[in-house]
Structure 1
Amino acid sequence: MKNKILLILCLLTGLMFINAGLDKFFHYMPMPKDMPEEMVKAGKAFMEIGWLLPLVGAIEILGGLLLVFPKTRPLGAIVLLPVLIGILLANICTAPSGLPIALVLLAVIVWVIIDNKKKYLPLIGK
């Protein structure tokens, strides 16, 4: 039962990251009307740096795809963790209304990391 729940959560989380990554390339999702001014400024700054949004988008797509498949899920969680920390910090600092979704995504990624902790041990030399 635990594996089925984790599969569904990883599928949904992976699809959310794939969607967010694709939006960084194709800009098909409208910006919310009530977005804080600081967040709008940050978005414009990211667009000024021409390589940053495509890089984050590619990482989100890659990490989302890796997270969907059980065999590559541990790698997907590690790939997505830095992006998710950035999302979490942005929501804490500028848009607390998005914090619940960011915390749910973080919980799923942390669950995957804890569930696969033995696979990460060779990375730290143990």
Structure 2
Amino acid sequence: MKLASNIAGALLGLLFLTFGLNFFFNFIPMPADPSPADAPHKLFMAALFPTGYLAFVKVLEITGGLLVAVPKTRNVGLLLLGPIVVNILAFHIFLTKGAGLFEPPVLLITALSAFLLWSGRRAFAGLVQP
């Protein structure tokens, strides 16, 4: 189980590190989106880009990805990345009406996060017990 957690942590860290750094260095080109300009997901992203909010989230993704990749700091990284994973899912469910929800990166991030949360559930038990 420890080996599986280490592999999952390394993969999740690599995913968040890659997509976080891509925001700043643009080494993975974004495909053209054929949806209209007034689509809810485009309006949402149009609000995040110029305000700097998305850059802040991407810095948290990079930091969380680095922390999750190291076994000793994995739980702190999961605490940083948890709300980001929930927002990724909420974005695809509510704003794109499910489009992109079953894309490999989204599925992989969700599955790896859930697995790491489950495998470290004893460490997080103190957060939910009175």
TM-score band, normalised by the shorter chain?
A: 0.7 to 0.9
Q: Could you tell me which residue of structure 2 aligns to residue 116 of structure 1?
A: 120
Deviation for aligned residue 1:41: 3.1
TM-score (norm 2): 0.80
Alignment of 1:23-42 (within 5 A): 23-34=22-33, 36-37=35-36, 38=39, 39-42=41-44
Regions of 4+ moved over 4 Å:
none
User: Is residue 3 of structure 1 aligned with residue 7 of structure 2?
Assistant: no
Structure with greater contact order relative to length (CA < 8 Å, sep ≥ 6): 2
Q: Cα gap change, 1:24/1:42 in structure 2, threshold over 3 Å: closer, same or farther?
A: same
Q: Which runs of 5+ in 2 are unaligned?
A: none
Q: Cα gap change, 1:89/1:82 in structure 2, threshold over 3 Å: closer, same or farther?
A: same
Deviation for aligned residue 1:60: 0.2
Rounded to whole Å, the distance in 2 between the matches of 1:66 and 1:35 is 36
Rounded to whole Å, the distance in 2 between the matches of 1:66 and 1:47 is 25
Q: Which runs of 5+ in 1 are unaligned?
A: none
1:43 to 45, 68, 78: 45
Q: Cα gap change, 1:29/1:43 in structure 2, threshold over 3 Å: closer, same or farther?
A: farther
Kindly report the root-mean-square deviation, in angstroms, between the aligned alpha carbons of the 2 structures. Answer: 2.1
Deviation for aligned residue 1:97: 4.2
Deviation for aligned residue 1:63: 0.7
Deviation for aligned residue 1:107: 2.1
Q: Percent identity?
A: 31
Rounded to whole Å, the distance in 2 between the matches of 1:63 and 1:35 is 32
